[in-house]
Amino acid sequence: MQIIKSIDSLRQTLAPLAKEGKRIGLVPTMGALHEGHGALIKASVSECDVTVVSVFLNPIQFGKNEDLDKYPKRLEADAKLAESIGADFVFAPSVQEMYPDGDPMTLVRDEQLESMYCGAYRPGHFRGVLTVVSKLFLISGANDAFFGEKDYQQVFLIEKMVKDLNFNIKIHRVKIVREESGLARSSRNEYLTDEERAQALGIYNGLKAAKVAYEAGERSVSKIRDTVVKSIVAARGVVQYVEVASQKTLQKCNGALGDEKAVILAAAFFGKTRLIDNMELN
Ligand code: PAF
C-alpha cells in the first residue's frame, strides 16, 4: 500500500497499470473511514484490479458555519484500514495540490437539484462535491467509482453528471451500512454523545415505520412523511427536512404515490450533529 500525495505521481503510477489493461477502481472519501467506506473499498477490490482510495477533506463543499475544522482527520489509520481491505493506493493530496489558485472559479453544477433537499440547507455543497469528484475522475482516470447510498442525493447527482458530461466511468452504488442498532454509519456519528446516539435512531425507526406502512398499502405522501417526522420529533431530534422523491428523477412526490418508485429522504439534528438517512420504497 502506498500513500500518494501529488497528482503527477498518482498519474505516473496509474498510467502503466491502465496501459496493461488493469481496471482501476476509485473510492472517493474525506477520510475518517468507517465500515461504510469499508463496504465501498470491498466492492472496488472485488470488481477492479487496482483500488485507489482518495482521502481529501474538500473545503469547497463545506459552508462557513459547517464542521470542516472539526471533521476527524487520521490519515495513517485510514490507510491501514484501506490496506486491510485490499486497497492498493491511498491518494491524499493537500488543499494546495488540489486548488493551487485558491477556490476554483470553474465549477460543476446541477442548477436544479443542487438547491433541493440537502442543497437547500447547504448552499454550494453539491457544486463543491461535483467539482472535486470530476477532478478525482480526471486525475485518476479510473474505470469505476464507488459511492454509498446513504448520500442518496449525492450519488444521484454524480450519476447524472457522468451521463450529462459523458465521463467514461462506471458508477457503482453501494447499499447503506448500518450499525447493529440500525443507525446509518457516518463519520459524523463520532460527534454524538451516547444519549444523542440513542435518539438518532428516531430517523431510522421512522423510515422503517414508513416503509412498513407503505408495504401495507399506504400511498399518501403526507402520511408517509408524517410518520418519519413524528418518529424524529419523539426521539427529540430536530427535523431539517423529510421528503418523498421519485427514485428516477429525484423530484418531489406529492399527493398519492403511483407506480413510480419513490425514496424517503430525511435530515435531522441530534444535538448539534446533522444526520441524513433514506429509505427506498420498492
Ligand atoms: O461523500 C463524501 O465523502 C464526499 O462528498 C466525496 C464524495 C468524497 C467528495 O468530497
The cell for 198 is 440513542
Pocket probe for ligand 1: among 66, 129, 159, 188, the residue whose CB has the most ligand atoms within 8 Å is 129
Partners of 25 in beta bridges: 51, 144
- Residue 142: per-residue pLDDT: 98
Residue 151 Cβ inside 6 Å of ligand 1? The answer reads yes
Confidence of residue 95 (pLDDT cuts 50, 70, 90): very high
Query: How many distinct helices (H) and strands (E) make up the chain?
Result: 10, 9
- Establish whether residue 29 lines the binding site of ligand 1, counting it when its CB lies within 6 angstroms of any ligand atom: yes
Fold assignment, 2-174:
Rossmann fold (3.40.50)
Which band of pLDDT confidence, cut at 50, 70 and 90, is reported for residue 260? very high
One-letter amino acid for residue 5 of the chain? K
- How many Å separate Cα 264 from the centre of its chain? 16
CA geometry: angle 99, 109, 257, nearest 5 deg: 140
Per the listing, cell 420504497 goes with 281
Q: What percent of the chain has pLDDT over 90?
A: 100
Instruction: Please answer whether residues 82 and 50 qualify as being in contact, where contact means their C-beta atoms are separated by less than 8 angstroms.
Output: no
pLDDT at res. 130: 98
| CA 30 to ligand 1 centroid distance, Å | 6
As a whole number of angstroms, the distance between CA 90 and CA 10 comes to 9
Residues 198-242: tens digit of each pLDDT: 999 999 999 999 999 999 999 999 999 999 999 999 999 999 999
Q: Residue for cell digits 403526507?
A: 222
**Segment holding 212, helix H or strand E:** helix 201-215
Give me the chain's average pLDDT, please.
98
| CB hemisphere CA count around 193 (13 angstroms) | 5
Tell me how many degrees the CA angle 116-37-98 measures, rounded to the nearest 5.
70
DSSP secondary structure, 152-209, as one string: HHHHHHHHHHHHHTT-S-EEEEEPPPB-TTSPBP-GGGGG--HHHHHHTHHHHHHHHH
Residue nearest to atom 9 of ligand 1 (CA): 129
Q: What is the pLDDT averaged over residues 126-153? A: 98
- Distant-in-sequence, close-in-space partners of 165: CB < 8 Å, separation ≥ 6: 108, 134
* Distance separating alpha carbons of residues 26 and 137, to the nearest angstrom: 8
User: pLDDT digit string (tens) for 14-71?
Assistant: 999 999 999 999 999 999 999 999 999 999 999 999 999 999 999 999 999 999 999 9
Q: What percent of the chain has pLDDT over 70?
A: 100
Ligand 1 centroid from CA 129, angstroms: 6
Q: Cβ(78)–Cβ(31) under 8 Å?
A: yes
Measured between its terminal Cα atoms, the distance across the chain in Å is 40
Domain ranges of the chain: 2-174, 187-281
Task: Let me know if 34 is a catalytic residue.
Answer: no
CB of 51 within 6 A of ligand 1: the answer is: no
Predicted pLDDT at 235: 98
Catalytic residue among 34, 37, 125, 172: 37
How many A from CA of 29 to the centre of ligand 1? Answer: 5
- CATH 3.40.710.10 matches 187-281: no
Rounded to the nearest whole angstrom, what is the distance from the C-alpha of residue 151 to the centroid of ligand 1?
A: 9
